[in-house]
């Protein structure tokens, strides 16, 4: 018997964007946003909200794309506002 691992979703661990979230890298703000499937909210990489689990994160290049994907802007980091 072999365990079938082919159904395991590929995690973004090791992805530069996921690392930016973990380190709250402000230099990545404006480069992408990430949506959390469990909450339906999207954030900037530097958002102070606790990083979610990688398997529930979806990356979007822009806030517009995230909104079109059905996500709402986070009320902490205002990912749909221009850079300050």
Binding site for Zn ion (CB under 5 A): 43, 47, 49, 74, 76-77
- Helix, strand, coil percentages for the chain (3-state, nearest 5): 25, 20, 60
Minimum CB–partner distance for residue 1 and Zn ion (Å): 44
Quote the DSSP letter at residue 9. P
Secondary structure (DSSP) of 38-62: TTTEEE-TT-SSPP--GGGEEEESS
Q: Which is nearer to Zn ion, 16 or 81 (CB)?
A: 81
Q: At its nearest, how many Å lie between Zn ion and the CB of residue 53?
A: 16
Residue 45: CB minimum distance to Zn ion, A: 9
Residue 1 or 75: the one with the smaller Cβ distance to Zn ion is 75
Nearer to Zn ion, 12 or 51 (CB): 51
> Which residues, at least 6 apart from 15, have a Cβ–Cβ distance to it below 8 Å?
59
């Amino acid at each position: 018997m072999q365990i079938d691992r082919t159904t395991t979703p590929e995690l973004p661990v090791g992805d530069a964007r996921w690392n930016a979230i973990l380190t709250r890298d402000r230099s990545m703000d404006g480069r992408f946003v990430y949506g959390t499937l469990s909450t339906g909210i999207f954030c900037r990489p530097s958002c102070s909200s606790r990083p979610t689990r990688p398997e529930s994160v979806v990356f979007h290049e822009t806030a517009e794309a995230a909104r079109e994907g059905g996500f709402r802007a986070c009320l902490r980091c205002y990912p749909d506002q221009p850079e300050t």
